[in-house]
Amino acid sequence: MISIMVSKSSLSLGIILFIIALGANTFNPVNAQLEIPEAKIINEDDTSENVNGTSNNSFLSYADNDLGFSLEYPESWGIGSGSNAYQIVTFSAPDDTASAYVIFIPREDDQSLRNFGDEFVKENENFKFNTYYRNSTTLLADQPAFRASGTYFNTVTAFERSLGYESSNTKTLQVVTLDENSDGFIGIIYHADDQVNYNKYLPQVEYIITSFALSAAGPIISEEN
């Protein structure tokens, strides 16, 4: 169990997105060179993608009573703490080519799931989304959610290249809901090095998403005396 204190942040959402992106790579705006399918946005009345992934792996249980969530993750995956204040826990594939982590971002000014999704995904210059779902069948922990898939772009500068860094593109899947008990947005973000590894581990991640549950009791805030 991980104890965490969460408070309202004065950072703009743009800065928050930048910090979260650092968990996988360092992202800079880029003119994409890859051919990417045209993005599509699905309205509430349309049908969502199937999220019932399956896997032959054995799964272990993970629970965080502070934020009030639980899930199951593949036994063969590594587990560690998040790399910043908004990443709660990270699960890594055995070959380290893919990872999934739980995020929590405090809500600002009674922000809606719709508005948060628009800013978190659609207005992120470093993220090219291929699909975006927010409809009656798009759920996380049996609550309304948005689900987006696409690519993060990271192009290094000439100086970074001189230090040995290389440009990269990261495939990602994001499923986020509004947890009113914690008054924030909580969800699962999946990153993979490329499309091959994305597809390889997607069934396990779909199982993680399906198993994700929220506690009705709400968060337990830990305070030092």
Confidence of residue 46 (pLDDT cuts 50, 70, 90): very low
DSSP state of 8: -
Inside any domain, residue 220: no
- Distance, CA of 46 to CA of 123 (rounded, Å): 22
Confidence of residue 56 (pLDDT cuts 50, 70, 90): low
Q: How many domains does one find in the chain?
A: 1
Inside any domain, residue 176: yes
Residue 214 phi, psi (nearest 5): -110, 145
Encoded tokens for 22: 């650092």
Report yes or no: 166 and 26 within 8 Å, Cβ to Cβ: no
Inside any domain, residue 130: yes
Inside any domain, residue 62: yes
Looking at residues 10-17, what average pLDDT do you find? 39
Inside any domain, residue 145: yes
Confidence of residue 57 (pLDDT cuts 50, 70, 90): low
Give the model confidence (pLDDT) of 114-151 as tens digits.
999 998 888 888 888 889 999 888 999 999 999 999 99
Domain at 77, CATH number: 3.40.1000.10
Inside any domain, residue 13: no
Which residue range forms the structural domain that includes residue 69? 32-214
